[in-house]
Amino acid sequence: DVKVTQSSRYLVKRTGEKVFLECVQDMDHENMFWYRQDPGLGLRLIYFSYDVKMKEKGDIPEGYSVSREKKERFSLILESASTNQTSMYLCASSSGLAGDLYEQYFGPGTRLTVT
Amino acid sequence: AQSVAQPEDQVNVAEGNPLTVKCTYSVSGNPYLFWYVQYPNRGLQFLLKYITGDNLVKGSYGFEAEFNKSQTSFHLKKPSALVSDSALYFCAVRDRLSGGYQKVTFGTGTKLQVIP
């Protein structure tokens, strides 16, 4: 079974703090994604990566950055957390080369609260 | 850009009755569609996908989805609902970006409540 793990299930941070969310997948997938999930808005893509050291902006990249130094690990960074970044963050991975996506496998999510 | 719409925020169905969760899509070219389910306090799980071929796609946990090109719909169905099917369901479509890469765009989700 594909396993996608996220470093924390719940996180509480203060406004202005730098926040790191870590995601690891164990299936040697090329593609990894970060989404945020908010009620009534569904899932919105923040950033994605199709290869090591490669990153592409999604639909809502403002206020976020990412890092992918190893194939299995994809990190989301909030440079200076703000209250409007309070949300559920979901990491996902999928197989497929040259950006040809197949079904995605999701981690359990990190519920981040910024106070 | 491709998109999907889920017109119902919530669907209630009695246990044992058939269930339908609706999804319509807007794409240029041939659609590549997915359904995912999210159980309480858990990440999303893949249920099924449509690429091409048969209009009736079978997936996990007894779910199936019917692709209808003329109505641009991809409704999720199950003949007999279980209480354990109560969850949040997302329809999604694969979208090709200008750089040649692909991403998946999700709908806003439909909460399914199965009543004992």
Query: A36-71: per-residue pLDDT in tens?
Result: 999 889 999 999 998 898 899 999 999 999 999 999
User: Can you tell me the distance from the alpha carbon of B28 to that of B21, in angstroms, rounded to the nearest whole number?
Assistant: 23
Confidence of residue A100 (pLDDT cuts 50, 70, 90): low
Closest of A20, A59, A23 to residue A41, by C-alpha: A59
User: DSSP letters of B24-88?
Assistant: EEE-SSS--EEEEEE-TTS-EEEEEEE-SS-SEEE-GGG-EEEEETTTTEEEEEESS--GGG-EE
The alpha carbon of residue A63 is apart from the nearest alpha carbon of chain B, in Å, by 20
Confidence of residue B43 (pLDDT cuts 50, 70, 90): confident
Q: How large a percentage of chain B has pLDDT more than 70?
A: 97
Interface residue A98 vs chain B (CB under 8 A): yes
Quick one: average pLDDT of A74-81? 97
Q: Inform me whether the pLDDT recorded for A99 exceeds 60.
A: no
Contacts of A43 (CB under 8 A, 6+ apart): A35, A36, A37, A90, B44, B90, B106
A29-33, B53-57, B62-66 — most confident range: B62-66
β-pairing, A19-25 with B44-50? unpaired
Q: Which residue's structure tokens are 């491709």?
A: B2
Residue A20 pLDDT: 97
On chain B, the residues whose CB falls within 8 A of the CB of A109 are 42-43
On chain A, the residues whose CB falls within 8 A of the CB of B45 are 106
Q: Which residue's structure tokens are 């240029």?
A: B28
User: Can you tell me the distance from the alpha carbon of A108 to that of A95, in angstroms, rounded to the nearest whole number?
Assistant: 19
Residue B12 pLDDT: 98
Residue A2 pLDDT: 65
Confidence of residue B37 (pLDDT cuts 50, 70, 90): very high
Residue A95 pLDDT: 86
Q: Which two tokens stand for residue B57?
A: 């796609």
The alpha carbon of residue A49 is apart from the nearest alpha carbon of chain B, in Å, by 10
Neighbouring C-alpha atoms within 13 Å toward the C-beta of B56: 5
**What digits encode the pLDDT tens for the residues A83-93?**
999 999 999 99
- CA dihedral for B59, B5, B74, B102, sign (positive or negative): negative
